[in-house]
Amino acid sequence: MTRKDIFFKIAFYIVLAILFAICATVIILITAGYKVDIKNHEITQTGIVIVKTLDRDCEIYLDENLVDKEKTVIRNLDPGFYNVLVKKGEYQSFKNHFYLNPGEAKIIDNVALFLEHPQIAEFTESDKVLFEKLSDTSGLATSGGELFINDQFLTRFENKIQDVCWYPNDRFLGLTVEDYFKVVDIETLNEFPLFEKKSNKPAVFIDSGKTVLFESEGKIFSAKIR
């Protein structure tokens, strides 16, 4: 083997080692949540969006693109504004608009969808005991149209809040405004109007939040809302 052959052989292995090092570095960066743009010589840190729903057969969209159902992890997203939409037939859609920071893992969990038209039935006299005992209003307070949680201001409605209570997963609240009961997401302030309710007594969620008991005009009703 000539000295020239030895030189080219050494050069080949050096180039191979450099390429291996570059590829390994790129793989490590991508695994760590970075996006490598070799053409423009840029390295940017990406983010992750995680969506978890409490309902089956939901469709999850990111910026109008269908991603997955029920639970999804969306990786390698550039920093910026995004829209998440969770929908299901005969249910009101859940929407979330947010800014994703570099390196952030945005978690949107405990997402519940509520029926467009809840199924309402009148309760019997013996069921009133259940209604009186189970309403959870801990840490909640109102002043006119203002809503407070543990003395911290949350949001304001145009009209007076008649009553408010917790939903089982502590992400949602049930409240009545202008004789109409709705569920409100305390993180995104999404509102899900459900039914007419002429009473100032807080409602009661049962069956893991799938049913709500409420009083209206002196009678007790149940409404299947999920």
Q: 41 falls in which pLDDT band (50, 70, 90)?
A: low
β-partners of residue 139 are none
| Confidence (pLDDT) at 103 | 85
Name the more confident of 67 and 184: 184
* Proportion of the chain above pLDDT 90, given as a percent: 47
pLDDT for residue 136: 87
What proportion of the chain, given as a percentage, has pLDDT over 70?
Answer: 75
Task: Give the mean model confidence (pLDDT) for residues 143-159.
Answer: 93
Q: What is the pLDDT of residue 39?
A: 60
Give me the pLDDT at residue 218, please: 85
Q: Give the pLDDT of residue 170.
A: 80
Q: pLDDT per residue over 159-197, tens digit each?
A: 999 999 999 988 899 999 999 999 999 988 889 999 999
SS3 assignment for the chain = CCHHHHHHHHHHHHHHHHHHHHHHHHHHHHHCCEEEECCCCEEEECEEEEEEECCCCCEEEECCEEEECCEEEEEEECCEEEEEEEECCCECCEEEEEEECCCCEEEEEEECCCECCCEEEECCHHHHHHHHHCCCCCCEEEECCEEEECCEEEEECCCCEEEEEECCCCCEEEEEECCEEEEEECCCCCEEEEEECCCCCCCEEEHHHCEEEEEECCEEEEEECC
User: What's the mean pLDDT when you consider all of the chain?
Assistant: 83
pLDDT of residue 9: 60
Confidence at 49, pLDDT banded by 50, 70, 90: very high
pLDDT tens digits, residue range 86-145?
999 999 999 999 999 988 889 998 889 999 999 999 876 555 656 666 788 999 999 999
Rounded average pLDDT over 31-38: 56
- Whether residue 208 is predicted with pLDDT greater than 70 in this model: the reply is yes
Taking 60 as the threshold, does the pLDDT of residue 50 lie above it?
yes
pLDDT for residue 193? 96
Look at residue 11 and tell me whether its pLDDT is greater than 60.
Answer: no
- Average pLDDT of 33-53? 72
